[in-house]
């Protein structure tokens, strides 16, 4: 699989640049993969091969880290990433209702991306802010105390690229 948006030589130089920021230290592999994923919005196979080459590490080691941590994805995600916490605190506060609403509105199931590549929906076991449950993140912005009614406002903000007005502090 080749990254369609970048010729192979540009990909390798981008990866070399990212790896170079960390001095190619094996202890920085997770941070390097985070930066690669931030750049491509996922971890393409060619990019993982380029990381292995740049760091002089076995490809199996790179894949081992990339598949072990749930934060990494090997398939493209949408331009907008919606993540719903379904951990215990959020679950008892009706997170499943939020997931159902998003799935209906977007026409996809959790773990999928809309056909136009605009939105990916994911559920996770914990986002680490239980007091704000049910908790949803949209492109890294935390929306606490989420309700079905707030979903529409959040999605409007996300899809219209407005700067999010509701932050963690306001939600608390």
pLDDT, tens digit, 9 for 90 and up, residues 42-86: 999 999 999 999 999 999 999 999 999 877 889 888 999 999 999
Both tokens of 104, joined, read: 């209906």
pTM equals 0.66
- Regarding whether 94 and 45 lie in a shared domain, the answer is no
Distance CA 28, CA 160 (A): 36
Q: Do 84 and 60 reside in the same domain of the chain?
A: no
88/162 same-domain check: yes
Q: What does the mean pLDDT of the chain come to?
A: 88
Asked if residue 75 is part of any domain, the answer here is: no
Residue 64 in tokens:
């081992």
Q: Using the structure block, give the residue that is written with the tokens 């499943």.
A: 96
Under-50 pLDDT residues of the chain: 1-4, 163-172
Total domains present in the chain: 2
Q: Give the closest residue to 168 by CA, choosing from 148, 149, 143.
A: 143
User: Are 99 and 110 in contact, with CB atoms under 8 Å apart?
Assistant: yes
**Three-class DSSP category at 120:** strand
């Amino acid at each position: 699989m080749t990254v369609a948006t970048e010729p192979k030589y540009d990909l390798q130089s981008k990866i070399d640049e990212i790896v170079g920021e960390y001095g190619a230290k094996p202890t920085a592999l997770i941070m390097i993969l985070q930066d690669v994923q931030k750049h491509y919005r996922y971890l393409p196979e060619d990019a993982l091969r380029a990381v292995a080459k740049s760091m002089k590490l076995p490809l199996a080691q790179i894949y081992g880290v990339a598949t072990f941590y749930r934060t990494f994805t090997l398939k493209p995600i949408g331009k907008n990433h919606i993540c719903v916490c379904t951990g215990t605190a959020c679950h008892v506060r009706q997170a499943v209702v939020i997931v159902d609403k998003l799935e209906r509105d977007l026409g996809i199931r959790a773990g999928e991306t809309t056909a136009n590549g605009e939105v990916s929906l994911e559920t996770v076991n914990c986002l680490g802010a239980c007091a704000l449950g049910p908790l949803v993140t949209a492109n890294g912005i935390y929306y606490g105390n989420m309700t079905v009614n707030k979903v529409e406002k959040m999605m409007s903000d996300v899809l219209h690229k407005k700067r999010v007005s509701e932050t963690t502090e306001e939600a608390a």
